[in-house]
Amino acid sequence: MGFLLLSGLGAQAQEVVPAESSAATVSQQAQRQAEFLADALQLKGRQVHAVQAALLARLDANDVLSHLLFVSGTAAAAAYEAVDYRYYAVVGKVLTPSQFHLLLQLDEKAAASDAALATSNP
């Protein structure tokens, strides 16, 4: 769907991506991650749905935060940590202790991998 944007140089047609497509992307990411975790953690039906909902909330919140300007890196880190805290609080209620421990291990490995990529691609 395109929109006509007006500028000082006259009208120009520009393609504007509707908000729904980015929401679908976040939803798809949550679904893919939930499917991976369902297999890796051997989740049952109720657990899969709860984890997928928690992932969607986490990814949505992180997407919103990625568009905000923060006063400091500390404020940004605190905002992201709050999102993670809420995510782990929700999934911690539906996972067994061994599943939750494995989830933390998987997340730790993913974070280390992301950090390695960030330092190798400045």
Give residue-wise pLDDT tens across range 86-119. Answer: 999 999 999 999 999 999 999 998 888 777 777 7
- Based on the number of CB atoms within 10 Å of its own CB, is 100 exposed (0-12), middle (13-18) or buried (19 or more)? middle
Higher pLDDT, 57 or 119: 57
Note the pTM of the prediction, 2 decimals: 0.72
Q: Band of the pLDDT at 121, cuts 50, 70, 90?
A: low
Helix axes 19-40, 97-120, angle to 10 degrees: 120
Q: Band of the pLDDT at 122, cuts 50, 70, 90?
A: low
Q: Nearest 5°: CA angle at 66, between 60 and 71?
A: 130
Q: Band of the pLDDT at 18, cuts 50, 70, 90?
A: very low
Higher pLDDT, 25 or 115: 25
